[in-house]
Amino acid sequence: MDFPGAHILSIQQFQREDIERVFRTADRMEPYAQRTKLTRVLEGAILGNMFFEASTRTRISFGSAFNLLGGEVRESVGMDSSSLIKGESLEDTARVLSGFSDVICMRHPEAGSVAKFASASRVPVLNGGDGSNEHPSQALLDLYTIEKELLARGRGIDDLRIAMVGDLKHGRTVHSLSKLLSLFRNIRVVLVSPTELAMPEELVELLKVAGHQVTVTESLEASIADVDIVYSTRIQEERFSDRAEADLYRGRFRLNQAIYTKHCDPNTVIMHPLPRDSRAEANELDSDLDANPNLAIFRQTDNGLLVRMALFALILDVTQLLEKYEQPIPWHNSRDPRLKPLDDQA
Amino acid sequence: MDFPGAHILSIQQFQREDIERVFRTADRMEPYAQRTKLTRVLEGAILGNMFFEASTRTRISFGSAFNLLGGEVRESVGMDSSSLIKGESLEDTARVLSGFSDVICMRHPEAGSVAKFASASRVPVLNGGDGSNEHPSQALLDLYTIEKELLARGRGIDDLRIAMVGDLKHGRTVHSLSKLLSLFRNIRVVLVSPTELAMPEELVELLKVAGHQVTVTESLEASIADVDIVYSTRIQEERFSDRAEADLYRGRFRLNQAIYTKHCDPNTVIMHPLPRDSRAEANELDSDLDANPNLAIFRQTDNGLLVRMALFALILDVTQLLEKYEQPIPWHNSRDPRLKPLDDQA
Amino acid sequence: MDFPGAHILSIQQFQREDIERVFRTADRMEPYAQRTKLTRVLEGAILGNMFFEASTRTRISFGSAFNLLGGEVRESVGMDSSSLIKGESLEDTARVLSGFSDVICMRHPEAGSVAKFASASRVPVLNGGDGSNEHPSQALLDLYTIEKELLARGRGIDDLRIAMVGDLKHGRTVHSLSKLLSLFRNIRVVLVSPTELAMPEELVELLKVAGHQVTVTESLEASIADVDIVYSTRIQEERFSDRAEADLYRGRFRLNQAIYTKHCDPNTVIMHPLPRDSRAEANELDSDLDANPNLAIFRQTDNGLLVRMALFALILDVTQLLEKYEQPIPWHNSRDPRLKPLDDQA
């Protein structure tokens, strides 16, 4: 994949060397995201952040990523009912909107819609999630997190041991992650789910064809004993025909500190695509894990910002210009230790 | 009209020399919109983009126009139900909001509302559409498109031959365009609509008083034979009492490539205010026209951006400073040929 | 309170010297808000403007305040139903969103929610209103307005004479203002309300303990005779069980120019937290007062902008750098007299 001017629609576009390029670019974004450095390389550029389906965290993450590089954001939230009622095709919408910005990020509830939109767009389009189909930046941030978390442990994506837990049937993130993992070597994947919510057969096949070792099980405790990563997922309630059906599975695989201490190797990394369901009846990841330094779930979303910055920088071909457009930061970096905990404020 | 600090509420404010000034300013905006140049002349200025009625394309167009000149945008979408419930007058809303920005663009469903708002505003207000009443930037972009498209053909707005087709009763854009055309000379206007959806009599009269030749007909084929422009419009379904009534007229005047080839002069320009209704039962402009280089409908929306940039530049009096605030563009211009079609991406 | 990096959650955090510091910083913001000067001290900084409850004016005021200092704004409007449905805790939302910006302003319908959010946030959080609980920037702008209006009259907050009128039971602003006034000396407060909508007893007590003189009455005319400020409020209809109950009180205490002329001292300042209810049945402040130079209600919202700029500048510790980052303003200042009244436009 040649990034400058490219659409980013699917993780299937990515070869191993492309992933490597995204991750090494993401590494360089850390000081800008941490506010120890400021770059204005995209000053004057405009992102069209078109979320035809609401998603606060992903929308803000894309918008902030563009702002952190110095660019501007124009935004839409929710389905444009007026144009739909008036019978406009998605291609016409693309022809119009692509005249207003330098790059577009788009989320849409319908599978395939973003690719259709991109086919008529005059500027690069980044898929921010098209229904149950693709959400490439999420898959990349998951893999980037795995790489980063394991680096300090002297381990890598090759030879990884990972347990994926929960609703593996509907979870878009575990599907995409499996596809990405098929590009790497010698991985052991444990798939933990109720039989009814098992990983689709073609994805299991894909992992096996890649030479990986796949185990399917319904037992959480046994599965998390010898892995580097426990990747927990939410029961995707909204994909079930009714809430009662989802309730059958909710809370089946709970991880808390006691289970972690008893069954996991020390330093086993806990991941989750978020939001985690913290209601008592679900509680996939108990809040008593919040003090566990191996809980990587918020580092995941932080890494999402870095990966999205990297994608923008690669598409707009400014990776070699980041430093040239640096400026001093005059304001107080509120992420430093001077941000006191709430109780200490008088 | 003296533009600096002026409200832009109605096309009736515009004399022929004002239109000329907007268009020549819009011409100068093209390199900024095409991203071959970058200006930051409005850096630090704030647009209040107040859309009390949803309209993704017009809202984003105004916002991007302001960003392209270097300014910032604060935005509102949808009716502010809370202030309405609390009984606030539109004038009070204006008094408050006009303290927060340098210029306001406002859309509101009620005719006359924007002028009422402007009467109490402390900053210039641009009418982004007030119900069935006015939408001056749309009328200007239509006329600007006509001028631009005909220039290469050695023709101009004076002596223009135009067919307006469709729902001429409810179509705000054809009404406004007729008013603007009355400022020019020796125009031949063919009005093609069902009798029930005819152009209002006072507008026909206005065109005649201006010395123009007006023909009223129900036949599409005969009408498009000797014109420079075919201006097609959508049946304004939302203005009918029910959908069934709108269905009576939907799809009555369809233009496709076969009809175009058979009946139109070569190089006849096709326009439409968008969105075009691409559902099978309507399909005013068939998608087989998309390959026709005379289909100007997406150049219209691109011109809208230029016209809106021009209006902002005239109101804020920076037309002589655009070049002074230019900066180099460090990022990849994604509108250049390097943006490969989708199938070529690996 | 040490401002750099601090959360601003409650007016109870403010001592008299803190208030003084906010107000003197707000004074310095006036030329930037009036557009006679431009500063870019926060260029590159990002505000997360998270309005989980709609509020056009407050949201735009915070966003514009940040833009006026040179910063960028990412925004959310309305409850994020998707995350709620998915069972995410407010703390998790904070952990995620605080990775995307340098400071967060948050409004939320639930009392205590903003403090809960702040406890998990990695960046400073500014309370933009949490239900019936707190709205500190509104209380500060009210007090700042009182100080500013009285300055020209040779009077100050100490020794103030103020009448608070209307729904004193539900009005969050009069509660907060009372708390702030308890930090000052020798104030005379007249509380004018129906008995059923009286100021809560603990607040009356707080004023008395501070040594202030408190009078409770149901008579408007007698109460406004010897005061510096008449602070009128709206019947908070949305806090009543039904509209009929609110109707019992609506319009009970109307102030118009005739009553003002007959009963008030000349130069008595009229304030109101806005929106004022201008419907005939309410009309707390008649529009015939709009010509009265002592009507300070729109100066209040303008002061809100200054106070919010000041809070951002103090939290991000740039008060000493405002001038250093000044730039010339190239555009037409549309607030100058060249903005002609509507009828003069051709």
pLDDT surpassing 90 at residue B316: yes
pLDDT at position C17, please? 97
**Which residues have C-beta within 8 Å of that of residue C156, sequence separation ≥ 6?**
C147, C150
Same domain, A110 and A154: no
Same domain, A148 and A293: yes
B123 is a domain residue? yes
Quickly list H helices, C171-256.
172-181, 201-209, 220-223, 243-247
Contact B258, B292 (CB under 8 A): no
Taking the Cβ of residue C5 and every Cβ of chain A, the question of whether any pair is shorter than 8 Å is answered with: yes
A135 is a catalytic site residue: yes
Which residues in chain B touch residue A52, judged by CB atoms under 8 angstroms apart? none
Taking the Cβ of residue B95 and every Cβ of chain C, the question of whether any pair is shorter than 8 Å is answered with: yes
Q: Inter-chain contact B276–A85, Cβ cutoff 8 Å? A: no
B346 is a domain residue? no
pLDDT at position C84, please? 63
Pair of tokens at residue C178: 């009372």
A58 is a catalytic site residue: yes
Chain A neighbours, 3+ Cβ pairs < 8 A: B, C
Task: Report pLDDT digits (tens) over A279-313.
Answer: 888 888 999 999 999 999 999 999 999 999 999 99
pLDDT surpassing 90 at residue A44: yes
Of C73, C167, C58, residue with least CA distance to B82: C58
C17 vs A31: CA distance, rounded Å? 36
The catalytic position among A7, A59, A135, A308 is: A135
Of B243 and C147, the one with more pLDDT: C147
pLDDT at position B341, please? 39
Instruction: List the CATH number of the domain containing B22.
Output: 3.40.50.1370
Of B305, B327, B340, the CB nearest to A5: B340
Mean pLDDT of B216-223: 93
pLDDT band at B39, cuts 50/70/90?
Answer: very high
Which residue of chain A comes nearest to B62, CA vs CA? A100
pLDDT at position A5, please? 93
Classify residue C180 by burial, with Cβ atoms within 10 Å: 0-12, 13-18, 19+. Answer: buried
Task: Give C130 to chain A, closest Cα distance, Å.
Answer: 17
Same domain, B183 and B312: no
Same domain, A155 and A248: yes
A6 is a domain residue? no
Q: Whole domain around residue A105: which residue ranges?
A: 11-135+301-327
C262 is a catalytic site residue: no
Taking the Cβ of residue B78 and every Cβ of chain A, the question of whether any pair is shorter than 8 Å is answered with: no
Task: Report pLDDT digits (tens) over C228-268.
Answer: 999 999 888 777 888 788 888 887 889 999 999 999 998 99
Same domain, B156 and B232: yes
The single-letter DSSP state of residue A111 is T
Lowest pLDDT segment from B187-196, B242-251, C213-222: B242-251
| Average pLDDT for chain A | 92
Same domain, A123 and A153: no
Which residues in chain C touch residue B43, judged by CB atoms under 8 angstroms apart? 40, 327
pLDDT at position A343, please? 43
Same domain, B85 and B143: no
C212 is a domain residue? yes
Taking the Cβ of residue B96 and every Cβ of chain C, the question of whether any pair is shorter than 8 Å is answered with: yes
B138 vs B301: CA distance, rounded Å? 9
Same domain, C316 and C199: no
Same domain, B173 and B215: yes
C255 is a domain residue? yes
Same domain, B220 and B76: no
Taking the Cβ of residue C7 and every Cβ of chain A, the question of whether any pair is shorter than 8 Å is answered with: yes
Of C169, C168, C204, residue with least CA distance to C187: C204
This complex has an ipTM of: 0.94
Same domain, C96 and C200: no
Q: Inter-chain contact A274–C48, Cβ cutoff 8 Å? A: no
A62 vs B91: CA distance, rounded Å? 37
Taking the Cβ of residue B301 and every Cβ of chain A, the question of whether any pair is shorter than 8 Å is answered with: yes
Rg of chain A, C-alpha, whole Å = 21
pLDDT at position B86, please? 75
Of A85 and C115, the one with more pLDDT: C115
Chain C neighbours, 3+ Cβ pairs < 8 A: A, B
Contacts 24+ apart (CB under 8 A), A256-260: A256/A283, A256/A285, A256/A286, A256/A288, A256/A289, A257/A286, A257/A288, A257/A289, A257/A291, A257/A292, A258/A288, A259/A220, A259/A221, A260/A224, A260/A289, A260/A292
Mean pLDDT of B285-304: 95
pLDDT band at B245, cuts 50/70/90?
Answer: confident
The single-letter DSSP state of residue B79 is -
Mean pLDDT of A120-145: 95
Look at chain A and report how many structural domains it folds into.
2
pLDDT at position C250, please? 80
Q: Inter-chain contact C87–A302, Cβ cutoff 8 Å? A: no
B223 vs C339: CA distance, rounded Å? 46
Taking the Cβ of residue B92 and every Cβ of chain C, the question of whether any pair is shorter than 8 Å is answered with: yes
3 state DSSP class of C176: helix
Task: Report pLDDT digits (tens) over B63-91.
Answer: 999 999 999 999 999 876 666 667 889 99
Tell me, rounded to whole angstroms, the distance of Cα C168 from its chain centroid: 16
pLDDT at position A190, please? 97
pLDDT at position A1, please? 79
Q: Inter-chain contact C74–A64, Cβ cutoff 8 Å? A: yes
B188 is a domain residue? yes
A335 is a domain residue? no
Q: Mutate which of C56, C289, C343 to test chain B, going by most B C-beta atoms within 10 A? A: C56
pLDDT surpassing 90 at residue A328: yes
The catalytic position among B135, B169, B170, B250 is: B135
pLDDT at position B278, please? 87
Same domain, C52 and C74: yes
pLDDT at position B187, please? 98
Task: Report pLDDT digits (tens) over A86-103.
Answer: 788 999 999 999 999 999
- pLDDT-flagged residues of chain C (< 50): 337-346
Beta carbon pairs, A and B, within 8 Å: 130
pLDDT surpassing 50 at residue A342: no
A107 is a catalytic site residue: yes
Of A67, A275, A331, the CB nearest to C316: A331
3 state DSSP class of C52: coil
Task: Give A71 to chain B, closest Cα distance, Å.
Answer: 10
Q: Inter-chain contact A275–C87, Cβ cutoff 8 Å? A: yes
Q: Inter-chain contact A85–B334, Cβ cutoff 8 Å? A: no
Which residue of chain A comes nearest to C316, CA vs CA? A332
C101 vs C78: CA distance, rounded Å? 19
A220 is a domain residue? yes
pLDDT band at A344, cuts 50/70/90?
Answer: very low
pLDDT surpassing 60 at residue B237: yes
Distances (CA, A) of B122 to A5, B97, C334: 43, 9, 8
**Which residues have C-beta within 8 Å of that of residue C344, sequence separation ≥ 6?**
none
pLDDT at position A239, please? 79
Quickly list H helices, chain A.
16-33, 56-68, 81-85, 90-97, 113-120, 136-151, 172-181, 201-209, 220-223, 243-247, 257-263, 297-315
B39 is a catalytic site residue: no
Which residue of chain A comes nearest to C322, CA vs CA? A330
Mean pLDDT of B271-300: 91
pLDDT band at B2, cuts 50/70/90?
Answer: confident
Count Cβ atoms below 10 Å from residue A310 Cβ, excluding itself: 25
Of B42, B82, B101, the CB nearest to C331: B42
The catalytic position among B39, B58, B145, B173 is: B58
| Average pLDDT for chain B | 92
pLDDT at position C143, please? 98
Classify residue B337 by burial, with Cβ atoms within 10 Å: 0-12, 13-18, 19+. Answer: exposed
